[in-house]
Amino acid sequence: MDTIFALATAPGRAGVAVVRVSGPAAWTACEALAGRLPRPRLASLCRLHEGGELIDEALVLVFESGSSFTGDPVVEFQTHGSVAVVNRLLAALSRIDGLRPAEAGEFTRRALENERLDLARVEGLADLIEAETEAQRRQAMRLFEGDLGKRVEDWRARLLRAAALVEAGIDFADEEIPQDIWPEVAALVQRLIADFSAEIAGIGTAERLRHGFEVAIVGAPNVGKSTLLNRLAGREAAITSEFAGTTRDVIEVRMDLGGLPVTLLDTAGLRETEDVIEAIGVTRARERAEAADLRLFLGGEDLGISLQAGDILVAPKADLQPGGGGLRVSGRTGEGVDALLAEIQRELSDRLGATQTAVRLRHGEALVRAVTALDSATELLYMPEDVAELIAEQIRQAIRAVDSLVGRIGVEDVLGEIFASFCIGK
Amino acid sequence: MKHDFDVIVVGGGHAGCDAAAAAARAGASVALVTLKLQDLGTMSCNPAIGGLGKGHLVREIDALDGLMGRVADRAGIQFRLLNRKKGPAVQGPRSQADRKLYRAAMTQEITEYQRLTVIEGEVASLVLDGRTLRGVRFGDDAEVTARAVVLTTGTFLNGLIHIGDEKSPGGRMGGRPSIGLAEQIKSMGLATGRLKTGTPPRLDGRTIDWDGLEEQSGDDDPAMFSFLSSGPVARQISCRITHTNERTHDIIRQNLSRSAMYGGHIEGVGPRYCPSIEDKVVRFSEKASHQIFLEPEGLDDPTIYPNGISTSLPQDVQEAYVRSIRGLENVAILQPGYAIEYDYLDPRGLDLTLALKDHEGIFLAGQINGTTGYEEAAAQGLVAGLNAARFALGQDPAQLQRSDSYIGVMIDDLVTQGVSEPYRMFTSRAEYRLSLRADNADQRLTPLGIAWDLVSDARKRAFDAKLERIDAAREILGEISVSSRALNGAGIRVNPDGPRRNALESLALPGAGIGALTQLVPELAGFDPVTLEQIGRDAMYESYLQRQRKDVEALQRDESWEIPGDFRYEDLQGLSAELQGKLKRVKPRTLAHAGRIEGMTPAALTLILAHLRRGERKRA
């Protein structure tokens, strides 16, 4: 087995850089560079040399196999965060026998192979590393903590119970087994369909949370969309002027809204226009606004964009038009902006299920397969003929689908997908 | 006597008979060694063949031209198709057999094989050259040489019979244990485990009051085991059903401590699906009664086998509880029930041909591998005998797969998972159950049997003719178009305004049967019912079969990752010691095989896969 190494922290200049080495030769590599092997899990200051030349002074951490992240013997060098130091250290490591640079995601792969993590937890870890906001961190942490794995065990136990009931009726026809197993089977199947469906319904939002929500500001030309965007962003992201049709392209501003990752979209004012460039902008505005998670309608909703549940109507330029009810906002003075932000946050937070454990498209696809199988089973349950063997087959399919969530089958395909999204050294 | 054979089969039970016959069909010269000539094909437990899963096995044996199906058909005195109301994939043929007729039919079949010599005697030891088989030595020191041996010696390893607190060494009642051979096998360093099984007391039918006992008769339209049989030969009879009652249970409860099993005399593990009456009373104490099938052992034999009350209680208790049962008030016991404990050899030491992995030329089949049941034994016998012959003749191994047969499922289970209780076949063990049906066993396996030279010309001709009829009927059905309105009119649940379909597609509709379709497609009247039924069943499962074919393809992808025999699992860091031990013991042939090992984790599989790939990259 090879020993692998890579920079575990972001490349570039920083206070500290961490280089991680994992595999059977990790400790000998440490001895070769540091001249000694510090006691495991005790941070030790060492001078790293190669060929008599000092590379850097570093904090060295040694882990035994079985108590490291990957499950292999591991060494971590915490050097000064200098590009030159890191490059020199990596070069020195590559010259040690049995060591090679890690492939993308290979540390995590080893953790999976060594049963330190299951498939769902690996996905959780990937999300955790990508997390930028508090809500993203919470969701990733649930996955990384193994919540999905626990739920899968529960689902699997209930599916196995249903399967066992049906199979008993098939394989022990001559025995005195209870005849009327079907009500229990039907109840188990119905509850599972309900559970799976609830998870599936929440996956869209969970996916949005991973990638960020899009909030589009729409309205007629010159109602103050760009001024509002700049106020929300706290900087001059969009050009503003008194001329209608100033904004042509869609302007995006990423922000952390109370822990939620939100991308604000400023769009071209919606109107019929002879200007070819502006017409393209209007088309784009409509497309992006329709696809966004939430729309802020400035100054009226009758703009040829459909109002969807949760969308917010805003009365703009509150400083120029005093009076009136509703959510009154002024981009120029900041009036009503806090209330608007609170409203957006409340609306998006409401969409997040507190107990959502399935968070990825892959999870959703597996659960949809399970529901499809169980729906067919339900249909078969009400057939006049005894089709127990077909019901059993559908339940079996559902079990396979649920198993694939934690990687019990289809290991290879799922792995390829997951590890493709990993960056080196994590 | 000849002193050299290609294959020697030790034991003349169900595994031994089908092993010897398969080896002979496959072209080997064969000696079948049995302790007593008249014991060929003895049914030592209940007088029945087939059932769910087991009936599938018999049909598969028959599809490979094995003996059990033909013999059971000739000896059958009652035929029932279990699960007749359920789908065809889970219907299993079952028969009551006349013991004497069965033995006679089996003896006749065996003696008809030109290449097969039956030797009455006791094999005292195997003659080995290191780990390679050279022959066997008899009790009188005579030696016979051979290239391969098939051991089908049943429960003879440390067999111990219990009746209450009395115990005596032995295989089955009246059989003598072969001490020498057992000692030698034990010294070969193979892993063993201990199992137990039980039998009920045998009753004298002349002392049973049959009046008023519920009757269970055979089917009006008997389903035979063999694809070549047309109907029962022997006179047909009924079984009767009676029940235990609270008084029976009281007697058993009061005497539990005298039961061999509950008195702590037995260490072996019994089957969960076939508990003794003591077990039933203790574990299911809420049940006020348990059913007992009174099965005649033969047409001119008064012995009755009371299926459902196997026991290891002392004889006087057996008498007392049996006589508390309705109809059995004055019954005489001809032979008391007993429990038997025995050692089995861990089948994880075998490969898919049932050969011992670390020896040359030694094959094992039947109860010695931890299975129970005549059908399981015969199916293993066939595979072991066939492969012993092919080994002796220098041919490639002949292997069955999980995706083509119940036999393949069983052997894969045995060599991969091992056993923790006597292994019995169930339909739920077969993940490709919808395609592995009893009715299409010939289409699945007879072509393989032809390729392996196992199948007689007569069967081959019959099979080819059947396939031709099916293809012809299928072609007609594919060409004829039927309107939804007509289908609806024939009572099939379909929207009458729906599209036209060809007749084959129409068959796949829920509730459509070949009967309803025959009304609409008069051309079908020219085909025999067996052909039409077969087509109807394939159509009924078609959408499921398509998906299963995909599963099979996925499995074959994993199967294509071969693991070299010398793969060093100890080099895989992070593999738990337990899994490492299992993998080293089982030596999986492929990644898919490894995946079926009990307790295997995706992580461990990934680990193996990663190493296989790395090896591939290095080679490339």
Name the residue with higher pLDDT: B377 or A269.
B377
**Is the residue at A138 inside a domain?**
no
User: Touching check for B578 and chain A: CB below 8 Å?
Assistant: no
Q: Are residues B319 and B398 in the same domain?
A: no
Task: Based on the fold, state whether residues A235 and A328 are members of the same structural domain.
Answer: yes
SS3 category, B531: helix
Mind telling me how many Å the CA of B290 is from chain A's nearest CA? 8
Looking at per-residue confidence, does B607 or B298 come out higher?
B298
Query: Is A32 domain-assigned?
Result: yes
Q: Which residues pair with A313 in a beta bridge?
A: A297
Question: Which of B54, B78, B85, B90 should be substituted to probe chain A, the one whose Cβ sees the most A Cβ atoms within 10 Å?
Answer: B90
Same domain, B407 and B438: yes
User: How many residues are recorded in chain B?
Assistant: 620
The CA-atom distances, in angstroms, between B480 and each of A415, B500, B524 are 48, 10, 11
Residue B150: the pLDDT is 98
d(CA B219, CA B120): 39
User: Which chain A residues touch B547 with a CB distance below 8 Å?
Assistant: 397
Using the 3D structure, point to which of B339, B364, B382 is the last residue of a domain: B339
Q: Is residue A130 part of a domain?
A: no
Query: Which of A66, A96, A116 lies at the terminal end of a domain, its last residue?
Result: A116
Q: Are residues B406 and B469 in the same domain?
A: no
Task: Check whether A58 has a pLDDT greater than 90.
Answer: yes
**Domain-located, residue A88:** yes
Query: Looking at the structure, do residues A111 and A64 belong to the same domain, yes or no?
Result: yes
Residues in chain B with CB shorter than 8 Å from the CB of A415 are 606
Separation of alpha carbons B456 and A187, rounded Å = 52
Nearest CA in chain A to B273: A172
Residue A13 has a pLDDT of 87
Domain assignment present for B407? yes
What's B522's domain CATH number? 1.10.10.1800
> What's the token pair of residue B96?
């009551």
Q: Kindly state whether residue B555 falls inside one of the protein's structural domains.
A: no
For residue B56, pLDDT over 90 is answered with: yes
Q: Is B290 on the interface with A (CB under 8 A)?
A: yes
In chain A, the residue whose alpha carbon lies closest to the alpha carbon of B89 is A389
B380 and B468 co-located in one domain: no
Residues A406 and A332 in one domain: no
Query: A347 and A222, same structural domain?
Result: yes
The predicted structure's pLDDT at residue B619: 47
Please indicate, yes or no, whether residues B238 and B278 belong to a single structural domain of this protein.
yes
Element (H, E) at A343: helix A337-351
Q: Which of B384, B417, B451 finishes a domain? A: B451
Rounded Cα distance, A136 and A212, in Å: 9
Long-range Cβ pairs for the range A277-280 (8 Å, 24+): A277/A248, A278/A245, A278/A248, A280/A248
The per-residue pLDDT for range A67-84, each reduced to its tens digit, is 898 989 999 999 999 999
Cα maximum dimension of chain B: 83
* pLDDT interval class at B614 (50, 70, 90): low
Predicted pLDDT of residue A422: 38
B574 closest CB neighbour out of A113, A171, A412:
A113
Q: Do both B50 and B96 map to the same domain? A: yes
The CATH number linked to A107 is 3.30.1360.120
pLDDT of B270 > 80? The answer is no
Look at A408 and B573 and tell me if their CB atoms are within 8 Å: no
How confident is the model at residue B528, as a pLDDT?
Answer: 84
- Domain presence at residue A223: yes
Q: Looking at the structure, do residues A110 and A19 belong to the same domain, yes or no?
A: yes
Given A304, A331, A351, the domain boundary residue is A351
CATH of the domain at B403: 3.50.50.60
| Most confident among A176-190, A297-311, B50-64 (mean pLDDT) | B50-64
Interval A240-284: pLDDT, tens: 877 777 777 888 888 888 888 899 888 888 877 888 888 888 888
- Judge: A176–B290 Cβ closer than 8 Å, yes or no: yes
Better pLDDT: B520 or A61: A61
- Give the pLDDT confidence score for residue B378 in this predicted structure: 98
Domain CATH for B587: 1.10.150.570
State which of A116, A135, A156 marks the end of a domain: A116
- Contact partners, residue A333, CB within 8 Å, separation at least 6: A318, A319
* Count of the separate structural domains present in chain B: 4
Same domain, B356 and B331: no
* Dihedral in degrees, nearest 10, Cα atoms B532, B538, B539, B543: 180
Q: Give yes or no for residue B301 having a pLDDT over 70.
A: yes
**Co-location of A235 and A325 in the same domain:** yes
pLDDT for the residue A421:
40
- Do B284 and B305 belong together in one domain? yes
Residue B135 forms part of a structural domain: yes
| Same domain as B484, residue B434 | no
A:26-85 residues touching chain B, CB 8 A cutoff: 65, 71-72
* A347 and A238 in a common domain: yes
Assign B440 a pLDDT band (cuts: 50, 70, 90): very high
Last residue of one domain, picked from the residues B406, B431, B451: B451
- Residue numbers in A near B432 (CB within 8 A): none
Whole-number Å distance between alpha carbons of A77 and A425: 13
Q: Where are the beta strands (DSSP E) in A33-141?
A: 44-50, 53-63, 74-80, 99-101
User: How wide is the angle at C-alpha B232 spanned by C-alphas B295 and B53, nearest 5°?
Assistant: 60
Q: Is residue A304 part of a domain?
A: yes
Chain A residue whose CA is closest to B82: A173
Cite the DSSP H helix spans in B441-513: 441-451, 457-479, 484-489, 503-507
B603: pLDDT strictly greater than 70: no
On whether both B325 and B419 belong to a single domain, the answer is: no
Full residue range of the structural domain in which residue A65 is found: 3-116
pLDDT value, residue B599 = 65
* CB-CB neighbors (< 8 A) of B287 in chain A: 176
A290 and A331 co-located in one domain: yes
Task: Residue B427: list chain A partners with CB under 8 A.
Answer: 170-171, 389
pLDDT of residue A174: 72
Same domain, B130 and B66: yes
B149 domain residue, yes or no: yes
Among A114, A390, A396, beta carbon nearest to B87: A390
A412 interface with B at CB cutoff 8 Å: yes
CATH of residue A291 = 3.40.50.300
- Domain residues for the domain of B482 are 457-548
Are B123 and B181 in contact by the 8 Å Cβ rule? The answer is: yes
Instruction: Please check whether residues A375 and A347 belong to one and the same domain.
Output: no
Could you tell me if residue A41 is left (phi over 0), alpha (psi between -120 and 50 degrees) or otherwise beta? left
Q: How many domains are there within chain A?
A: 3
Taking an 8 Å cut-off on Cβ atoms, the answer to whether B602 and A65 are in contact is no
Residue A271 sits in the same domain as residue A325: yes
Are B368 and B151 within 8 A, CB to CB? yes
Of A250 and B410, the one with more pLDDT: B410
Q: Does some domain include residue A324?
A: yes
**Is residue A420 less than 8 Å (CB to CB) from chain B?**
no
Q: Within a domain: residue A38?
A: yes
Tokens representing A242?
């008194």
d(CA A129, CA B465): 66
Clarify whether residues A342 and A366 are in a common domain.
Answer: no
Q: What is the DSSP letter of B269?
A: B
Residue type at position B195 = L
- Nearest CA distance, B569 vs chain A (angstrom): 12
Residue B85 contacts A where some CB pair is shorter than 8 Å:
yes
Asked if A121 reaches chain B (Cβ–Cβ under 8 Å), the answer is no
Q: Are residues A245 and A342 in the same domain?
A: yes
- Give residues with Cβ within 8 angstroms of B558, minimum separation 6: B590, B591, B592, B595
Q: Give the C-alpha separation, B198 to B376, whole Å.
A: 17
One domain for residues B77 and B191: yes
Q: Best of B56, B83, B611 to disrupt the A interface by mutation (most A CBs within 10 Å)?
A: B83
Residue A216 has phi, psi (to 5 degrees) of: -100, 135
> What is the DSSP-derived secondary structure letter of residue B455?
S
Minimum CA–CA partner of B85 in chain A? A386
